Amino acid sequence: MGLTVLSGPSGVGKGTIVAAVRRLHPEIWVSVSVTTRAPRPGETDGVEYHFVDAEEFAHMVKVGEFVEHAMFAGHAYGTPRRPLEERIAAGAPCLLEIELQGARQVRSALPDARFVFLAPPTWDELVRRLTGRGTEDGDVIRRRLDRARIELAAETEFDEVIVNDEVTTAAERLVRLMTSSSH
């Protein structure tokens, strides 16, 4: 099974690690999620996410287009089923970057996948990163911190833990796990 699921609290840097993996290892296929949240500055539809409205998302849920889907900080996120199944069938190394509820759904659906938790070096560092992004207002940050506390407690559910102390190092650790034969 060539599927790896990367999860971990918001603000821990999952997106940055995945961007580094894409840059350094283009042979690894990274799933593009669907979301109802608005694009942040610099995000492009079809690259970081497929951006849709709530109605379209609900339709996609109804017709079974998602492997998993979850609400996060007031918005819906989901992993499109068909491209992932095609890549797994082709034997490609596949990477999903999703939050905890979604990771649990994938574990039920595809128990042979490898589950990796990205942890912050410390809680204070996570708060600093979540506060410092500067793209969200106070209420959104509070909701994300509440959620981060819950997500941090789930670390023990995962097969592997990577501490995100330095981007390239953490990305290379992830790639090594993805290409090791233990799973």
- For binding to ligand 5GP (CB under 6 A), which residues are involved? 10, 14, 33, 37, 68, 70, 72, 77-79, 97-99, 101-102
Q: Minimum distance from CB of 110 to ligand 5GP (Å)?
A: 14
The number of CA neighbours under 13 Å toward the Cβ of 182 is 9
Name the amino acid, one letter, at 174.
L
The helices-and-strands tally (H runs, E runs) of the chain is 7, 9
Is 20 within 8 Å of 168 (Cβ atoms)?
A: yes
Smallest distance from ligand 5GP to CB 181, Å: 26
Cα R_g (the chain), whole angstroms: 16
Closer residue to ligand 5GP (CB): 108 or 181: 108
Four-residue CA torsion sign, 145, 146, 152, 158: negative
Between residues 30 and 175, which has the closer beta carbon with respect to ligand 5GP? 30
* Of residues 4 and 10, the one with the C-beta less far from ligand 5GP: 10
**Least distance in angstroms from the C-beta of 106 to ligand 5GP:** 9
Please give the residue whose beta carbon sits closest to ligand 5GP in the complex. 102
At closest approach, how far in Å is the CB of 7 from ligand 5GP? 7
Nearer to ligand 5GP, 2 or 102 (CB): 102
Q: Smallest gap, in angstroms, from Cβ of residue 135 to ligand 5GP?
A: 9
Terminal-residue alpha carbon distance, the chain? 7
Neighbours of 39 (CB within 10 A): 13
15 or 172: whose CB is closer to ligand 5GP? 15
Check if the beta carbon of residue 120 is closer than 8 Å to that of residue 9. yes
